[in-house]
Amino acid sequence: MDLNLVGDVGATYARFCLVAPDGTLIAMRSLPSRDYPGIGEALAAYLRAANDARPAQAVLAIAATPTGDTVKLTNNPWTFSIEELRNSVGLRKLRVVNDFYAHAAAVPHLQESERVKIGAGTAVPDAPIGLIGPGTGLGVGALVPGGKRPIPISGEGGHVTMAPANARESDVLERMRQRLPHVSAERAISGPGLVNLYGALCELSGVAASPLTPAQVTDPHTHATDARAKEATEMFCAMLGTVAGNLALTLGARGGIYIAGGIVPKLGDYFAQSPFRQRFEAKGRLSGYIAAIPTYVVTHPWVGLLGAAKLLDQP
């Protein structure tokens, strides 16, 4: 059986799987990036564990925007040559794309059970779709109408300048600007961003910040004893609403906004009750326009691999 390979490589995990001729994803595995000095070593470890599989071609979706043969991940020290990696694995063809390009390619193939709708709104057929995903970084992408199929678009929207929506957020971002040369959306809406928000809120409140991880900041048990962690989580959701709403307006994304990444799906019902949707719709004279746009949380556990697999036969 001829097999192909796809990967979804981020700052924290490198996910790989094989793709059967009928498109079925098999041998899915997630490897901690910190356990390997480079993508070549991680990929070699995966293939050994997959019975020394020898795929013919591959698509790797990475948390960066490849512009040439040398690729450097944004929040990961890995750097590699596409051609050298292709040769070392013995691939006939290797395509490297942005991770949210692959996420966008996956959207038309999601089942209803693999997404959760947040708030109201109804998708307009054949309208642009936006994607945003907080994880170790903040991924942003889009899917726009094409000829025979929708066209994925990648970008670096996670690095737009973060704008405050109220005085409290202004104070928090000002604290962050004292430490960072550029306070992008990713500096607030990501795993490290949660810690940044929490630290700034503690400073403003004159209390010592506990050494919390992103998961601890969002943990309801932490919220019971640390008001700043609870506020940081609420602010994270609200700021995500701001940026997601901006994305929807910029794209005219009447097909919907999809929220992926490793953080939001784990928030569950809390996210549905958070300030996200209210902030998403808070666009002044265009509030009515954007209130009609649906928002979804993607719950498919391997959405990047699904999208990468759909790109195997696309030019």
- Same domain assignment for residues 127 and 97: no
> What is the residue range of 189's domain?
112-299
In a domain, 142, yes or no: yes
Question: What average pLDDT does the segment 175-180 reach?
Answer: 96
Greater model confidence, 97 or 52? 97
- Same domain assignment for residues 121 and 70: no
In a domain, 273, yes or no: yes
CB 62 within 8 A of CB 71: yes
pTM of the full structure: 0.94
- Same domain assignment for residues 293 and 270: yes
- Per-residue pLDDT tens over the stretch 247-296: 999 999 999 999 999 999 999 999 999 999 999 999 999 999 999 999 99
In a domain, 306, yes or no: yes
Q: Which CATH number covers residue 66? A: 3.30.420.40
Q: Please enumerate in sequence order all residues whose Cβ is within 8 A of that of 179, keeping only pairs 6 or more positions apart, or say none.
A: none
Query: 159 phi and psi, to 5 degrees?
Result: -105, 15
Q: How many CB atoms lie within 10 A of CB 258?
A: 27
- Same domain assignment for residues 58 and 153: no
Q: How many CB atoms lie within 10 A of CB 225?
A: 9
Q: What is the structure's pLDDT at 167?
A: 98
Residue found by looking up tokens 């929490």 in the block: 198
- Same domain assignment for residues 171 and 71: no
Q: For residue 221, what is the enclosing H or E element? A: helix 220-223
For the ranges 9-18, 77-86, 117-126, 146-155, which has the lowest average pLDDT?
146-155
* d(C-alpha 258, C-alpha 111), whole Å: 13
Instruction: Report DSSP state, residue 94.
Output: E
Q: Which CATH number covers residue 153? A: 3.40.367.20
- Same domain assignment for residues 142 and 285: yes
* d(C-alpha 183, C-alpha 278), whole Å: 23
- Same domain assignment for residues 190 and 42: no
In a domain, 200, yes or no: yes
Distances (CA, A) of 92 to 2, 20, 86, 308, 310: 13, 16, 7, 17, 18
Q: How many CB atoms lie within 10 A of CB 75?
A: 18
Q: What is the structure's pLDDT at 129?
A: 98
- Same domain assignment for residues 267 and 205: yes
Q: What is the structure's pLDDT at 1?
A: 62
Give how far the C-alpha of residue 215 lies from the chain's centroid of Cα atoms, to the nearest Å.
16
- Same domain assignment for residues 144 and 252: yes
Q: Per-residue pLDDT for 107 more than 70?
A: yes
* d(C-alpha 252, C-alpha 255), whole Å: 8
Q: Which two tokens stand for residue 289?
A: 């326009």
- Count of the separate structural domains present in the chain: 2
CB 131 within 8 A of CB 140: yes
In a domain, 315, yes or no: no
- Per-residue pLDDT tens over the stretch 30-76: 999 999 999 999 999 999 999 888 999 999 999 988 889 999 998 88
